[in-house]
A and B are shown apart, each in its own frame.
Chain A
Amino acid sequence: MPRAHEGDRAGEVTRLLRAARTGDRDAFDALFTRVYAELRAVAARQLRGERDGGALRPTELVNELYLKLAGSPAGEWEDRAHFYGVAARAMRQLLVDLARRRDAVKRGGGWIMTTLGDGTASTDAGLEEVLALEDALAGLDERQRQIVEYRFYGGMPEQEIARVLGTSTRTVQREWTKARAWIYRALYPDSGTAGLAPAPAAPRAGSA
């Protein structure tokens, strides 16, 4: 009986994925809720002292979640790709929620600028930066925002992002480069070239 239950659930996730792919908003929400809950649970597990060994990379995490929820390692490529998108969105939301919860605690050390070696350095979370990044993302155009989500929050490789967006890896790289520059400008507005025109706020996409 538990097996049957698992199977139903896996089938349900696949069904939701397909529905969400065709633009079904309710299906997306239902899926998002599940993925979000799982991500939260993982974060909580990290809290229980399994952190050193358990800091999964986003790519691994998303794959494990997919295995768990959809029940099969591969499935249709489009399903998996879409799942990436949902997971990336959920990860983004989780970071924001975690940061807001701890808003009172101020800590130094900017993770955004920390380039990590082979898992040897520790990361201090700058919760302000999580929230600042949200603001910066709002200033990107839709495609750049998607690329940042897939790549940063979802850990999706460039080639896969290109495939999902139906474009070249070169275009993905170029858009990522620009997105990063815009984000930097929004996060550190004072560090730019002083003396030139006053730095405007992060550019907003669209005039409407």
Chain B
Amino acid sequence: MTTQERRARIETLFDRAIDLSPGERTRWLEDECADDSDLHAEVRELLDAHERATGILDVEATRIAASLSSDADDAPPIERAGPYRLTVEIGRGGMGRVYLGYRDDAQFEQRVAVKVLHHDYSDAVVARFVAERQILASLDHPNIARLLDGGLTADGRPYCVMEFVDGEPLDVYCDRARLSIDDRLRLFCRVAEAVHHAHRNLVVHRDLKPSNILVTRRGEPKLLDFGIAKLLDPDALPNAAPTTLTGVRPMTPEYASPEQVLGRPVTTAVDVHALGLILYEILAGQRPQRRDGEPLVHLERRIVQEQPPPPSVAVVIAASAPSAAGPRAPGADTVAQVRGATAAQLHRKLSGDLDRIVLMALRKEPERRYPSAQGLADDVRRYLDGRPVRARGDSLGYRARKFTVRHRWSVAAAASVMIALSAYAATSTVQAGRIRRALEQARLEAEKTEQVTAFTMALFEMGDRLDARGDSITVRELLDLAAERAERFRTQPAAMSQMLDVIGRVHQRRGDYASAGPFLERALEVRRGHFGERHVVTAESMSHLASLLAARGQYAAAESLYRQALDAQRAVLGGEHRQIARTLHDLAIQLQLQGRLAESAALYAEVRAMQRRVFDADHPEIAAVTSSLGLLRFQADDLDEAESLQRDALQMRRRLLGGEHPDVAMSLGLLGAVLRRKGDVVAAESLYRQAISIGRRTLGDGHPDLAHHLNGLALVMRSAGRYAAADSLYRRVLEDRRRALGPEHPSIASTMYQLGALHHERGEFTAAESLLVGALEMRRRRLGASHPLVAEVEEELVRLYEGSGRPELARLLARRPEAP
């Protein structure tokens, strides 16, 4: 065994061992390594190292860099600030440190919190600091920690002295004391009223958050740090050095208001917004502006643009998708439990008035929030008293008007916009309102994909045009507009190719293969020129064009292009990658369509194995491979296995994609095919009818994929002996397919063959013969003479000739396959 193999062996055992409990692990490992004590020892050691390594590499690399480059290590602790003796450090924040202090010269020992800043400020700034302090000191309210004093330390650092509050942060207190929702609301009202008191004295807090609101043992809330943020604001203190790389104002992003993010003037409405966030958090147990390891700019964009889900919805989302709420977010049951309710009760309690109150406080425009903190507190009290609240949801009209404005600076991907639009491409005329919804959907998509192109802006302009027209526009018009725009991006090949690609794919999704071609071809050409042959983006274009070729029935050409894509992807991405798995799957389908079933089966095995490693759990791609594999088993006449695979795929797709999705329709149809072949025509008919109705709604009449389902239903009708119904369905399928796919296509040949066989069965030899001969010729041309589907037609024709008294023709045909 080479070192490498041995290492791989150790790692495999390690992977399996850590999934076991420590008790099972020992036994299992001994069994596994019974004949190799060295191996046992090495795995054991690695497992021990793993147990000990939990804290390892948890520190951030930046801190180490800072620490290594800092010669003036930690400043020595300060022992005195004015008349205050400082003892232990009780906190450390972005701007300085907080110490527990005692006043030396007082008759009685008064405990205070002393905040010492670490910046050197100019004289003018210090003067300003002192003046502001006077105002803050005048704040006298039982729920506001008083600012007692302030000044400069001996070495010239500004400090301020505050009442020392011994308590817990608001959120911690609420949960630990297991306060009910009503008790939380009562406590919140007192906080909001304290904030209002400060506002009436012209002091804005600017940095309200649960950790700045302590609750004492007696249940009294105390607000800390009132006005401190302003003292530290670089705008207010123009000579202060910026504290971050970009010089942003000190604020806690998770509790910031849109106007703070935008650097707009700060008013009391900032505190109302922060109170809304705090209320949200103590009610729903989640931070609406939580930052989950994402870049700051993302969070800031969310703060400015996105309304958080209503608290009642947030508790349900937490229940259904724990990962979406962040790994550390408590589960819905825990959240409900510490509020003395079940998750369902909590959802009901928050729905309606409380949702509206919170969302009104959180509105993006300051002037549309509660006019004051008191107004918010009053509405909460109205709720507690069972009186009607003032908060109202945004009207539909308002949301529609805001839409275009928001999108003017939304960061969105052109691709997602267009793909979302294509979902609405079912009908040829789309109401402007539906396009708006599509764009809304696109915006959500775009947040994920994170791409900005000028194209997006152009699309939003189009959205404006839609508004101006007010009535309707066809998707086709929209695509033509998009194409026109794309031409203006000649100097930006990356952006232009992206647009061309998207436009082509939307045409293809709509079933308009003829229009799709030139766009996808051109996109590939531009990308080849700009990115080169071996590039993932070029490979993507190859795959897209290949998929169109496959849809047009040009399987061999599709195969060759997929292989090129695969080469490029392997060169850039290495051996294993989601994109590679996908291309392999596409390639396997091409082989399958060409009748090369054994080759295709081998590829499927490879894809399945890779998928297990590169996907977390269920994934639409896994469902897609399951479904293709089911089709392969169907072709091999292994109907039980085919049925089980199709059922798995259908179930997975329903779960992942919802009921209304073309892929779900496809799975229903494929399952229908298996059941028909098994002889269960009743079940098969019902499945096809479901597939057709979903297909109609999601794809639109005349779409080639819908024709699959209609064709399937025709087969069922024929099996059930309902020839007239089958006949009319086949004719319709032929018509639809010829319109969408042109005169010649493998699927047209299939329908002709089946319709021919139907006529044959009914003794209509002339009609049957012409259809079967047409099908045979088309299949020979498109699939090659040795394809199994060619033999199928030939056999039918042989029987026809024999049955209609023309044995010489039958013999002639029967000999042909043996010809070299």
| Pairwise interchain contact A73-B63, C-beta atoms closer than 8 A | no
Evaluate contact between B45 and A193: CB separation under 8 angstroms: yes
> Contacts A46-B70, A58-B61, A180-B56: A75 and B245 contacting too (C-beta < 8 A)?
no
A76 touches B451 (CB 8 A): yes
The residue that A51 contacts in the complex, of B70, B292, B615, with Cβ under 8 A, is B70
Say whether B576 contacts A167, CB under 8 Å.
yes
Judge whether B64 and A196 touch: CB under 8 Å.
Answer: no
- Do the beta carbons of A46 and B615 come within 8 Å of each other? no
In the complex, whether B27 has a CB less than 8 A from a CB of chain A is no
A-B contact pairs, 13 of them (CB 8 A): A46-B65, A53-B243, A60-B295, A73-B297, A76-B451, A112-B59, A115-B58, A120-B91, A155-B61, A167-B577, A178-B14, A192-B45, A197-B45
A10 within 8 A of B: no
Total B residues in contact with A, Cβ cutoff 8 Å = 82
Contacts A171-B613, A192-B49 known; A94 to B245 CB distance under 8 Å? no
Q: List B residues at the A interface (Cβ < 8 Å).
A: 2-4, 7, 11, 14-15, 18, 37-38, 41-42, 44-50, 52-53, 55-72, 74, 91-92, 94-97, 118, 241, 243-246, 250, 292-297, 411, 449-452, 494, 531-532, 534-537, 572-573, 576-580, 613-616
* 4 closest A-B pairs by CB: A166-B577, A184-B53, A197-B41, A181-B50
Contact A73 B411 (CB under 8 A): yes
Give the distance in Å from the alpha carbon of A61 to the alpha carbon of B65 in the complex.
Answer: 12
| A29 at the B interface (CB under 8 A) | no
Residue of B nearest to A38 (CB): B245
- Whether the Cβ atoms of A203 and B66 lie closer than 8 Å is no
In the complex the two chains form, what is the Cα distance from A63 to B48 in whole Å?
36
**CB closest chain-A residue, reference B569:** A166
A1-44 vs B, CB cutoff 8 Å, 1 = contact: the mask equals: 00000000000000000100111000000000000000100111
Once the chains are docked, how many angstroms separate the CA of A29 from the CA of B653?
46
A112-124 vs B, Cβ < 8 Å mask (1 yes, 0 no): 1111100110111
B576 to A130, Cβ gap below 8 A? no
Residues of B within 8 A of A92 (CB): 61
Q: Chain B's nearest CB lies how many Å from the CB of A144?
A: 9
Return chain A residues, CB-CB under 8 Å to B2.
207
B11 → chain A, closest Cβ, in Å?
6
- Verify A192–B42 contact, CB threshold 8 A: no
Say whether A112 contacts B580, CB under 8 Å.
Answer: no
A182 & B65 in contact (Cβ 8 Å cutoff): no
* A76-101 Cβ-contact flags toward B at 8 Å (1 or 0): 11101000000000011011001100
Query: In the complex, are the beta carbons of B11 and A178 less than 8 A apart?
Result: yes
CB pair B50 A180 closer than 8 Å = yes
19 extra A-B contacts, CB within 8 A, seeds A18-B531, A52-B118, A111-B67: A22-B531, A44-B69, A47-B72, A50-B243, A60-B296, A77-B449, A80-B450, A92-B61, A112-B57, A114-B58, A123-B66, A166-B580, A166-B614, A181-B47, A183-B57, A192-B49, A193-B48, A203-B7, A206-B3
Indicate if the CB atoms of B62 and A111 lie closer than 8 Å: no
Q: How far is the CA of A10 from the CA of B729 in the complex (A)?
A: 60
* A46 engages B50 (CB within 8 Å): no
Nearest chain A CB to B171's CB is how many angstroms away?
Answer: 14
Contact B92 A120 (CB under 8 A): yes
Contact A166 B576 (CB under 8 A): yes
- Contacting A192 at CB < 8 Å: which of B48, B58, B613? B48
- Interface pair B92/A43, CB less than 8 Å apart: no
B118 and A125 contact, CB distance less than 8 A:
no
Q: How far is the CA of A52 from the CA of B95 in the complex (A)?
A: 7
